[in-house]
Amino acid sequence: MDDGRYERQSATAGGAAASELLPHILLIDDVPEDIRATLILLKTQPWRISLASDAYQGYQRALALRPDLIVLDVHMPQMDGFSLCRLLREAPATRHVPILFLSSANTSLERLEGLTVGAVDYIPKSCAPEEVLARIKIHLQLTWRAPPAVHESQADPEPQGDEIVLRAAMRLIENQLDDIPSLGMLAQKVGTHEKRLTAIFREHLGMTVFAYIRDARLRRGQDLLCESAMSVQDVAELVGFRNACNFTTAFRQRIGMTPSQFRQQALGIAETESAGRA
């Protein structure tokens, strides 16, 4: 099946200008024959349909075409659908586009990961095409012609290329401080390889991936010490240190005091500020 662009215009829509007013659906699947029946059904709708045959092509088409909804497979060569979804969630052009997984990867862990990385729905390929169509219609009704979301300041430059990979990796690290994957797996999860990810962190942040992870863990540890009454041991475990001793050593090296001393100082400052407002 050709992986180019398909469009169907309604009888009242005249020409290319009118087609731009139709919802635009991008489907990304390396084996489009697997979703042939769904594609045929979708093409009966007054929508514009585009198709990409691998994750990298899908990523480029998503950025260029800015579709209204993306339907995405999971198991694809070179980069899987979860990695692609992370990148799409960091790119300003696609950050707010609803993503639906349509995949034969249908274990509970796979469904949970799909929703965790930012998809709004997860549909097994065993579903009838009519159900896929119904779910797409629901998400289009929720988002199509909705008031535009509040975006970042126009003065802020939009991230491009490596910056999107960097943001995706940073977000993944922040969300998994207690169980961060290996460097190779981390790189794979954001659609790149270990050497390139290391170079991106050095170029943009001036530090290694491991140094960033340690900083992120200590920053989160500071927040937990200030915001909760958890023990130092519990805080250490939550931010990914094996034990309180390792956490205390790293904390003292970075902050200049132990976690307990930091907490006491933070509580003292808070009490002083509270008394001043009274």
Q: What string of pLDDT tens digits covers the 278 residues of the chain?
A: 444 444 444 333 445 545 567 899 999 999 999 999 999 999 999 999 999 999 999 999 999 999 999 999 999 999 999 999 999 999 999 999 999 999 999 999 999 999 999 999 999 999 999 999 999 999 998 876 544 444 444 445 566 789 999 999 999 999 999 899 999 999 999 999 999 999 999 999 999 999 999 999 999 999 999 988 899 999 999 999 989 999 999 999 999 999 999 988 887 755 555 555 55
Residue 152 has what pLDDT? 47
The first and second tokens of residue 19, run together, are 């087609």
| Predicted pLDDT at 259 | 93
Beta strands at 69-72 and 99-103: parallel, antiparallel or unpaired: parallel
Looking at residue 142, what is its pLDDT?
85
Check residue 216 and give its pLDDT.
95
The predicted pLDDT at position 5 comes to 44
- The pair phi, psi for residue 123, each rounded to 5°, is -120, 125
Query: Which tokens hold the place of 9?
Result: 């215009």
Please tell me the predicted confidence (pLDDT) of residue 188.
94
Q: What was the pLDDT predicted at 136? A: 95
What sign results for the dihedral spanned by CA atoms 53, 58, 64, 70? Answer: positive
pLDDT at 268: 73
Strand 5-7 and strand 48-52: the pairing is: antiparallel
Taking the model in full, what pTM does it have? Answer: 0.77
pLDDT at 10: 38
Please name each of the domains of the chain with its CATH number: 5-143 (3.40.50.2300), 162-277 (1.10.10.60)
Q: Which run of H or of E encompasses 48?
A: strand 48-52
Task: From 68, 71, 45, select the one nearest 58 (Cα to Cα).
Answer: 71
186-232 pLDDT, tens digit per residue, is 999 999 999 999 999 999 999 999 999 999 999 999 999 998 889 99
